[in-house]
Structure 1
Amino acid sequence: MLTTMTRFLLSASPFEASAKDDDRDDTGVKAPVVSLRAALKTTAAVVFLSGFGVTSIALATPAVKAGIASAMASKAQIDIRVGRNDSAGRIEIYGSTGSRASVRRDNGQVVVRLPGNLRPDIGDLSANPPEGVRSVSLRQDSRATELLITLKDGVESHFGRADGAVFVQIDLPKSQVLPTRGEASITLQELERKVGVAPTADETVQVQAAAIDGGVDLSFPFTAPVGASVFRRGESVWIVFDKDAELKLPATLRDGKLITAAAFARNDGFTALRLTAPAGAVTASVENGTWRVRVGGRSINTEQVSEVSVARDDTTGASALAVNMAGAGRVAWIRDPAIGDRMAVITARGPVKRLMSERTTPQAALGTTAQGLVVERMSPDVTVDVSGDIVTISRPKGLSLSAPAQWARAEDETIKTLEYKAAAFPSLMDEENWSKLPTGGPMSGFLSRYNQLQQQAADEADKGIGATTGARLSLARFLIGQGLNFEAIGVLDLLGKQTPAVLGDPQFRGLRVMAKIMAGRYRDARVDLDSTALTSDPAADLWRGYVAVQEGHFAEARQSFKDGAGALDVFPATWRTRFAAANAYAAYQTNDLTAAKDIITYAVSQNAPPLETLEAQLVQAQIFEGLGDKNRALKMYDAIARAPVGRIAMPAQMRAARLNLALGRSKSDDTLDKLNGLRYRWRGDDAELELLSTIGDIYLGQGRYRQALETLKSSGQQFAGRPDALPIQAKLNTAFRGLFLDGQADGLQPVEALGLFYDFRDLTPIGADGDEMVRRLARRLMDVDLLDQAADLLQYQIDNRLQGVAKASVASDVAAIQLMNRQPEKALQALWKTRTSLLPKPVMAERRILEARALTELGRTEHALEVLGPDNSGDAMDIRADIAWRDKDWAKAGAILEKRLGDRWKRDGALSLDDESRLIRAGVAYSLMSDQRSLSRLADRFGKFAEGAQSPEAVHVALAGMDNGPINAQDFAVAASKADSFTGWVAGMKKRLRDKAATPLPGAGSQRTAANQAPAAPKA
């Protein structure tokens, strides 16, 4: 039985088909994190899955995807891991279901019985089983799934449980010599160091590197002819030899320009070298056993280069691909550490044989190569076999290929992609073929072709509701290919009315989606995209993602692009670029900048028309700006700004101007001039929305609040209902809140602030924040004695927005303002109209004081005293003193005023305005009643405050009395006039209202009702 450490070593290679995850590169040394850009230029499927943690890509038909979704077990349920060395193999089964498996022997087979009906993924295990295993298969009954492991003759096995897993140990006879395998798995040299025995290489090869013709030339001088495979995957260049060799890499290999990293691994008779080379073509040649590989620069000149032949093979009953490649060697199964998927690499002897154009099926793809073959993006059950010069790619149920007749091609025709079944991707765009026009003869040209298709469609429609739909769909395809999208929509809508059954046809739905999207009718396109006919179409997922980006639903777009990744490679270059650029923009908007950079690199690398590439580069510049590379972004903006098309040039000009301002290279006024010029040159799309937002930001930064609010508000109204307009509305609301809730408008004149508030009062938030804004603005108006306007603002709140305690509290403020404005009748109206029971004591006390003061101002002193009742608070005593003063009850007035002064004489410091007024009035009252004793007491206690008083002469006169010294009756009258209690009350009330405006209304959280929906302020 193997030890735990040995079991770990057997299963630790990330290149094995069922290997344990690791982050080491193929040298076994801990590698830096590999960017997902490594997948960019090879397959859009990998690109669109970047950032989602997906480590294996498999294109599948809708039926296969549905089967996987319903029956396949996840690794959390059944996780099969394989380890192997020269003397033993081991299969371990983990997971919530796998760990409960039982194992038995049955007639030369080891049977692992897994409870339940989940089917484990055995694609890697069956394709690359451990030594001693003849085959691996599955069978099911109603209660369990059984994994059948058939052993070779003479091979022993034992099984058990260890470390939370069920294991099957396979022991090879000691005398058995391992045969040469048809398949091999590249493992890490780190594994060799852990085991402690590093196998000796068959040969040591001194690799030579030289800079030639703008590229880097690598020479591999083997002593005997070997097979090789050379190809690029994204930013990686793979060079695989079918010989176990120790490569001596020169220090000059990593030049930092073309080649930034290099690492190799060897195992089972293979050596694989992986170079990190972000750019540059790859070519290969061979002479006298020496392989030459050039990265970048001019291609290696050689006449001995041939194309491998790819053909359909139906001889076994299941569709397969047969590749005729002279000198084909063996298959190396390699797991790419940059992407995480498994690929089959087939080497070949010289001369050079390459595959210039990628061949794609839903279950596997043949990548482009400079030498040999590589099969990638495989379903788990795909097998690759080599027999002589024929390489066969197949699967048990066959590959999804087109009809055999469609494989008949002229010998000199370059096959770009393998044909798909129409059912696999019903939403697939094929503009190039749909738009082709016949040449030569009387039926050449657009009009002839259009008339022909239109007549066929009319003849088909005349057959009634049960007629076929092929002719009408062909007419729609032709119209879409010619860019006549609205006409195509008309044809398809009429077809749907004439033949309702076609609404369930995926191809009909897919065509209508394309026509609507290219006509800009994104909302209408969603109706067809949401139909069940397109549920399992990966191509429809790409259209869903594209529509989501146009509508501003970026998170939804990311998920849709991920789901549709398997269909991206079959679209024409124009739409590959558009889809990838849209996906990159969605990643940028969701702040996934790393994924955005990887995806946009793929987008701009497609062979799309120049304008399409420019649009993608515009997104790329935004991503560079988001990543902090602003100088590079600015150069790209300046270059794109010279484009002859406004929809490309205008956003570039806008972003360049904005970036120049951010970098301090232009002033805000100059930037505004440029942006406002663009504002009236380009209207109606996302660029205008971004432009208005930018202008609003600059205005806010300058403190030009009215212009900022007007600009932001106009953009919000124009693009109302769009998700990408929500940030504009949020910015507008935030700016308004900042002005009237956070104090930014305090620098404006109160009248100017009031006008700004009235003009944009619809931005006032509902609830407590809106009410606080109004109270703060009313306080500012009150400070500059704009009392009527302040009272109107608060009265509107009372009438339309407040209830209960909050309403009664604000009514108190209105009453106070009306009293300050010498309007006691209006003060009483505000109080009496808002009477309610169960108010908090502080609110009731405040309202009682204000009512009594208003009644006092009206001369209804007896009623005022009834309202005050037993209240002995300071405010109540002040009102009683005022009433006694009005009634010329000097004894009572003097006594109350002196009592209000209390023991203030014991403390030093100047008197407040209220206390000074009380002191003067108390002295006047004692003098008027000739109470010399009280006047002397008052003078003894408070005489020291006369020098520091605001009106020292009045204090001296009041404390001296009318019968003392040179003071005459006129001086005494002047002193009495300066003791007006109203002025002191106004000053104190203003301070109280300012303090009150900074605190929440009592009961505001629970007393608001639907009345809060009213505007915050009345019309100006």
Structure 2
Amino acid sequence: MALARILLALAFLLALLFSIPARAEGANIQASEQDGYGRLIVTFDDPPEVTAKIANGIIVVSFSKPADFSAEQIQPGLSTFVSSARRDPDGMGIRLALSRAVKINPVEAGEKFFLDIMPENWKGMPPALPAEVIADLTKRALDAERIKKELARAQTLPPATMQVSAGSNDSRIRVTFSFSDKIEVRFKNEGRRGVLTVPGNTVFDLAEARAALPPEITEFSGVTVGNALVVKFAAPEGQELRGSQEENAFVIDIAAPGSFEPRASVAPPPQEDKKFGEIAEIGGAIEEHDGDFAQDAVLIPPADISKPSIALEKSPEVGPATATGPHDAKPAAAEAAKTAPELATQSPEQHAAELAAKQSAHAATPDAPPASTQTRRQGRIQTSEPAADTAHAPQPAAVAPAAAAPAATPAPAKPVANVREAIPPAPAETHDPASHAAAEGPVPSEPSHGPELDAPILSKAEQALKDFADSAVRYGVQLQTNEGTLQIAIPFEKLPPAAAFIRGASVFAVFDGNPDVDVAKIASDSNGLITAVRKTQTVSGSALEMSLSQPRLASLASSGQTWILSLSDTILEPTRPMQLMPTFNSDGRTALQVKTEGVGLVHHVPDAQVGDELLVVTLKPPARGLVRERDFIEFGALATAQGLAFEPLADDLSVKTGSDSIMLTRDKGLTLSLDAEPAALAPIQLKPGSPFAAEAWRKAQTTSQEAINDLARAAAAAPPEGRTKARLQLARLELAGGNAAETKGILDVATAESPNLADDPDVKVLRGTALVMLRRFDEAVKVLGSGTLSNNGEAALWRMIGEAGLGHLGLAREAFREGEPVLDAMPPDLQRIFRQTMIEVAVAAQDFATAATQLDALDTLGVTDGWAAREVMRGRVAEGFGQSALALEAYRRAMESGNEEARAEARLHAINLRYKMQEIQRAEAIKNLEMLTTDWRGDGIEADALASLTELYRADERWRDAFATMRTAMTYHANETSTRAIQDEMTAEFAKLFLAQGADAAPPTLESVALFYDFKELTPPGKKGDELIRNLADRLVEVDLLSQAADLLTYQVKNRLTGAPRAQVAAHAAAIELMDRKPGRALNMLHDTRISGLPSELVRNRLMLEARALSELQRPDLALEMIAGYSGDDVNRLRADIQWAAKRWQSAAEALELMLGTSWRAAEPLSDDTRKDVLRAAIAYALAEDDLGLDRLRQKYSGKLASTPDQATFDIVTAPAATRGADFITIAKTISVSDTLKSFLDDYRKRYPESAPPQVRTSDKPQDKTAQL
């Protein structure tokens, strides 16, 4: 009966154990960027199967079972490759949105999963695992192999035998169990009784053991139970026993109580084998059984009761009946079922009031501490969860939060005195979030002492909105309808930027990220207002397109972690309006800009109804958008409740976002009407006293030099109070006369004497204008852009020239637009300067319409000065509009003028246009540009001409001329835009020549090598440059410059590379050293770059090279030892070569024959290399005087070598020793000293194409492309 009770208890515990739901395994995430790649490491508590793939720009990592982890640190650690990272809601994977094209290398290593993210252009082996990981895996493999061998040994060895011997004296008896081999022994001691358990296959003679025992021991039995042999025995009455483990023996001492010295227990260690732990328990159960055991007795093994989810701790407060505690919830559940109809008839307000009253009464009772306090006082684990059939109901208000106790630990609980108070009913279906909050709001476990004084006071509407949002956080997407208004609450873990708008009969809601939205619920619970919901995943988020059955207005509001979309006849949440303002890009092209905060991402959202795609920009709260639609030539801007939405009409429309701005533009700029505010841009008069007023400027220009000198003398002699005014008047006259340096000097003296003058707006304008005339544009822009001149039109126009001089085309156009209203009030010669500069800026920005407008304005002025330069601009504008004939005519007029600068510029543009029109061939265009660069030097015209000439050289593949011309431009015109552009292009071409393959690459000739060394400053930085150097090394090898190639790679190994890439390049360099007959340097290179954790293929590669180097250094034994653990054709050849080089002819012949394999049976003829190996094997057998081997070789290959060029040689070599003549000696000498390195390198190249150097070219016949280098 005792055994039956044990088995029932174990079965009950097992049932409880398997009823506990599975939990997600823990995992730890590490993400970091290393040498050009990113690495994600996931460490699992219990490793699942992991797969990784790339789909649509997203890396999907999937697990075979859920894992609990946080993905927040992934994106910051992999920001170069990953734009966002998300954990799947079910914990079954990770999704990484890529910001660039990559390739991945997933590796599972024990409980760790490594995902290496490499650029798409990654070359060579993937990154190696950390050394410590490889070491750990190696140790595990060795341990597994050891255990496997021990198990195999245990299965093959005969079973151990156990013998019993005994001895005694006056005070104690000793019984010794001796074993023939080391086995597992378990001993259980209970006073005078003991149970010894050993493996069931142990040989044991029970009768012989009983005969060896002293007569005092009367109880001694043994029985086999399952896989265990159990021996029971007892000490004489009044005595006790103790057991101890010795070498291949177990000793039992029997003596009177208290006579044993205290020592450590012999109980099994905590990490004992589970199976043997079961055996020990069986042994304990046997002792309590009253009957005898049969040989085939079968016991149910006990459950593993060490799981923390089952509480077995004894408590004086818990009687035997508490073992069925978890079942006590059934009466409570039944009672709850009885009372549920009654509670369901209560309104949410009544039920909330009833609960509040009961909680107040409960809090007022001092003898009723919170449930969590009661649990702590009882000193045992308890749970107050409802039974399984009521688990879906909300938690009772009087119970502490579930997190206060382990949720999976069943334990006895007190009977529920009042079921109605403990288990409130499930709420009836309603869209009112207030009812959810009233019925299920959490109640604190401590007594309440009144409302929180710091809590914000919310209006009724605000509180309702908050309750609605809170219900969405708890239950997912919620909908509610009130007087024709539908509200949809969508919760998030963290509130993302969003956008919402209506287009046609559809409402769109767009979010950053991928929320888990129940689209079916939105359609079904909308009371027919929403007929269909379509969720679309965008690159950076998701979009909901909801079809409406009736017209509605949309508004979007936020509360906590929830976005609430409202569809009504009126706007519930007013949208703060945003403005689209015209502006310019940094390259001067027109754009539209919106200045705002909290900018999110740009989404490409398809419209299923219309069939097009919208560009949507999300924003953070509060609600901001366009209050009305705007139509433009290239796009349409939709009215929005939140964010921005654009309908592209041009294919190249792009939307760019910044932290506080959104910009729309095209490759050639938007077509906009920049005078959107005519009142602000209407012509205005200059303020009185302005030095740039037409009449004042004319008078200043006509002032004679004598009058200016008189004014200078008067200013010098004037008293201090009148000196400043005289100096300012003198500065105006000098400025109008074009004397900028004199103007600046006068102002410097005046401001030094009167420091307050420095902040005077008129003085700032005069100083800034002088600095512009002196071409000190950076200083001029700072002076003219200061705060006191922010609304000064004259300053804006002069600042426009400064910005244009600095190449800031967008800022120059902005400055011109600020100053344009005062332009007509200025004198014609200044208007010419400003308008002509604006023409140049507009042409550079390819805004030919604005340039044409300014040209017309200049023609209207009738100013003759600078007409030749205007003709050049007129030709540029005509060329921009595609009017080539008019452009060439304008250039012709400029070339006929007396303005040398205009003539040179016109020649340049005319040559380029005529070549583009194919009026002249490339050779003639090159000749004309060469003449132009010889005739005209020293400014931007020469820089542009050199850039055009470089382009033509490149098109003609005259690389040396192209690079030399580019270098000239960089030397003399480094700051010109055309020079910087051509430098970028030629740097890319240089890299392509030495990185590309095929026709785009420079041929492997000395001319190519010389080209690199002459222009090596164009080598790109970083990894791309390192790869270029390695390609160059291969070109050096091909032209037999082996030392130079090895030196290049050696520098990279010592100074540029680390880890596995360093080891791989070192192998490459070592192979080149071997080709150069320098095995010592090759061996040193390999030794200096040894590291652990390399890929196995790379390790094999390096060992092959090292063995070959050792063979070349006459160390054959060590070389053979290096490759002893490897096999394959290349290893067989290397092994044969090592034996051959060591003149170990017998071993060499056998290795060569083994390498030849069954080639003698093949139907196809033997190759040249195979015939050579046959001859080498024959020579080796002959030199080893192995006639049997020679005969065997002759029988195999005589037929295959018949009618081949090697037939005669083979016959001589394989002839009997007595018949060999002088010819054999000649052949043997020739072949025995033959070089085997070439064959080794050929095999090496076949197996390791990425690490092997190329072959040296035997002929160097220049190709056409080479001749042009």
Give the partner amino acid of 1:926: Y
- Residue 603 (structure 1) shift: 5.0
Greater relative contact order (CA < 8 Å, ≥ 6 in sequence): 1
Decide whether the 8 Å contact of 2:1083 with 2:1109 is kept in 1.
yes
Query: Residue 679 of structure 2: SS of its match in structure 1?
Result: coil
1:433 aligns with 2:696: yes
1:722-801 map, 5 Å: 722-742=976-996, 746=1001, 750-801=1005-1056
Matches of 1:536 and 1:937 in 2, distance apart? 105
Answering whether residue 931 of structure 2 is matched by residue 677 of structure 1, we say yes
Mean Cα displacement is larger for which, 544-553 or 870-879?
Answer: 870-879
Written as runs of structure 1 = structure 2, the 5 A alignment for 1:60-139 is: none
Cα 1:95/1:893, change in 2 over 3 Å: closer
Matching residue of 2:841: 586
5 Å-filtered alignment, 1:346-385, equals: 377-378=678-679
Structure 2 residue 1179 is matched with structure 1 residue 924: yes
Post-superposition shift, 1:857?
0.7
Q: Which amino acid aligns with 1:719?
A: H
- Are 2:948 and 1:708 equivalent residues in the alignment? no
Partner residue, 1:509: 764
1:634 is matched with: 888
Q: TM-score, normalised by structure 2?
A: 0.43
Letter in 2 for 1:617: E
Q: Which amino acid aligns with 1:478?
A: L
Structure 1 residue 903 displacement after superposition:
4.2
- Would you say 1:480 and 2:735 are equivalent positions? yes
Amino acid at match of 1:580: R
Q: CA deviation at 1:714?
A: 1.9
Is the Cα–Cα contact under 8 Å of residues 917 and 984 in structure 1 kept in the other structure? no
Q: Which amino acid aligns with 2:699?
A: K
Determine the C-alpha separation between the residues in 1 that align with 2:673 and 2:845: 22
Q: Does the aligned pair in 1 maintain the 2:701–2:737 contact within 8 Å?
A: no
- Aligned counterpart, 2:910: 656
Contact 2:947 2:969 in 1 (8 A): yes
Aligned: 1:830 with 2:1085 = yes
Q: 2:1119 aligns with which of 843, 853, 864?
A: 864
Secondary structure of the corresponding residue to residue 420 of structure 1: coil
2:951 pairs, out of 684, 691, 697, with 697
Letter in 2 for 1:642: E
Aligned residue type for 1:889 = R
Instruction: Quote the Cα distance in structure 1 between the aligned partners of 2:872 and 2:1238.
Output: 67
User: Residue 625 of structure 1: which of 879, 883, 893 is its match?
Assistant: 879
Q: Show structure 1 runs of 5+ residues with no match.
A: 1-75, 78-93, 98-113, 121-163, 167-336, 343-362, 364-376, 383-416, 440-444, 1000-1020
Aligned-partner Cα distance in 1 for 2:965–2:1150: 64
User: In the aligned structure 1, how far is the partner of 2:1226 from the partner of 2:1035?
Assistant: 38
> Would you say how many aligned residue pairs link Structure 1 and Structure 2?
600
Change (3 A) 1:694 1:922: same
Match of 2:1061 in 1: 806
1:947 to partner: Cα distance: 6.6
Number of the residue aligned with 1:452 = 710
Cα distance in 1 between the residues matched to 2:1081 and 2:892 = 65
Give the aligned residue type for 2:887. Answer: A
Deviations 1:889-912 (A, max 9, x none): 333222222332334455555655
Conserved in 1, the CA contact under 8 Å of 2:1130 and 2:1243? Answer: no
Distance 1:686 1:866, change over 3 A: same
User: Partners in 2 of 1:578 and 1:679 — Cα distance?
Assistant: 27
The question of whether the paired residues in 2 share the 8 Å contact of 1:849 and 1:876 is answered with: yes
Tell me the distance in 2 between the aligned counterparts of 1:493 and 1:589. 36
How far apart, in 1, do the equivalents of 2:1013 and 2:786 lie? 48
User: For residue 969 of structure 1, what is the aligned residue in structure 2?
Assistant: 1224
Evaluate the alpha carbon distance shift between residue 698 and residue 717 of structure 1 in structure 2; reply closer, same or farther with a 3 A threshold.
same
Choose which of 899, 902, 907 in structure 2 pairs with 1:645: 899
Note the alpha carbon deviations across 1:310-368, whole angstroms, 9 max, x for none: xxxxxxxxxxxxxxxxxxxxxxxxxxx996979xxxxxxxxxxxxxxxxxxxx9xxxxx
Provide closer, same or farther for how the CA distance between residues 474 and 878 of structure 1 changes in structure 2, counting only shifts above 3 A.
same
Identical aligned residues as a percent: 30
Aligned residue identity for 1:378: A
Report the Cα offset of residue 484 of structure 1: 0.7
2:951·2:962 contact (CA, 8 Å) conserved in 1? Answer: yes
Shift of 1:709: 0.7
Partner of 2:823: 568
Q: Structure 1 713/993 Cα, relative in aligned 2: closer, same or farther at 3 Å? A: farther
Call closer, same or farther: CA 1:958–1:783 in 2, change over 3 Å: farther
The change in CA–CA distance for 1:165 and 1:589 in structure 2 (over 3 A counts) is closer
For the residue of structure 2 that corresponds to 1:837, the secondary structure is coil
Q: d(CA) in 2 for partners of 1:338 and 1:757? A: 49
Q: CA deviation at 1:957?
A: 5.3
Cα offset, 1:468, TM superposition: 7.8
* 1:962/1:972 contact within 8 Å kept: no
What CA distance in whole angstroms lies between the structure 1 residues aligned with 2:1011 and 2:1160? Answer: 49
Q: Match of 1:820? A: 1075
Q: Tell me, what secondary structure is at the counterpart of 2:796? A: helix
Output one character per residue of 1:49-70: Cα deviation in whole Å (capped at 9) or x when no partner: xxxxxxxxxxxxxxxxxxxxxx
Q: Quickly say closer, same or farther: Cα 1:835–1:578, change in 2 above 3 A.
A: farther
Give deviations 1:183-225, integer Å, cap 9, x for gaps: xxxxxxxxxxxxxxxxxxxxxxxxxxxxxxxxxxxxxxxxxxx
| In structure 2, C-alpha distance between the alignment counterparts of 1:564 and 1:96, rounded to whole Å | 41
TM-aligned CA distance change 1:435 to 1:489, over 3 Å: farther
Q: TM-score, normalised by structure 1?
A: 0.53
1:420 alignment partner in structure 2: 686
Query: Partner residue of 1:847?
Result: 1102
Q: Which is further off, 890-899 or 906-915? A: 906-915
Q: Which residue of 1 aligns with 2:367?
A: none
State whether residues 577 and 613 of structure 1, in contact with CA within 8 Å, keep that contact through their aligned partners in structure 2.
no
Q: For residues 952 and 686 of structure 1, do their structure 2 counterparts lie closer, same or farther at Cα, with a shift above 3 Å needed?
A: farther
Q: Distance in 2 between matches of 1:814 and 1:700?
A: 33
Task: Report the 3-state secondary structure (helix = DSSP H, G, I; strand = E; otherwise coil) of the residue aligned with 2:903.
Answer: helix
Q: Equivalents in 2 of 1:948, 1:687: separation in Å?
A: 75
Are 1:899 and 2:1154 an aligned pair?
yes
What does residue 62 of structure 2 align with? none
* 8 Å Cα contact 1:917/1:980 also seen in 2: no
Note the C-alpha offset of 1:828: 2.1
Offset of 1:779 from its aligned partner?
1.1
Give the distance between the partners of 2:735 and 2:1098, measured in 1 at CA: 73
Quick one: distance in 1 between partners of 2:783 and 2:865? 29
Q: For residues 95-135 of structure 1, what are the alpha-carbon distances to aligned partners after superposition, in whole Å with 9 as ceiling and x for unaligned?
A: 999xxxxxxxxxxxxxxxx9999999xxxxxxxxxxxxxxx
Distance in 2 between the 1:894 and 1:942 partners?
14
Distance 2:1182 2:1198 in 1: 15
Q: In the alignment, is the contact (CA less than 8 A) between 1:510 and 1:540 conserved in 2?
A: yes
How far does the alpha carbon of each residue in 1:779-812 deviate from its partner, in whole angstroms, 9 at most, with x for none?
1221232212222222232333323322222221
Q: State the secondary structure of the residue aligned to 1:762.
A: helix
Name the CA distance, whole Å, in 2 between partners of 1:967 and 1:485: 102
State the secondary structure of the residue aligned to 1:888: coil
Q: Work out the CA distance in 2 between the residues paired with 1:742 and 1:578.
A: 49
Map of 2:776 onto structure 1 = 521
Q: What's 1:47 paired with? A: none
Q: Which residue in the other structure is 1:532 paired with?
A: 787
Q: Kindly provide the CA deviation profile for residues 575-603 of structure 1, in whole angstroms up to 9, marking residues without a partner as x.
A: 4344334334333333444x355445435
Q: Against the structure 1 CA distance between its residues 783 and 959, is the aligned structure 2 distance closer, same or farther, given a 3 Å change threshold?
A: farther
The alpha-carbon distance between structure 1 residues 783 and 581, as it changes in their structure 2 partners (threshold 3 A), is same
Aligned partner of 1:683: which letter? R
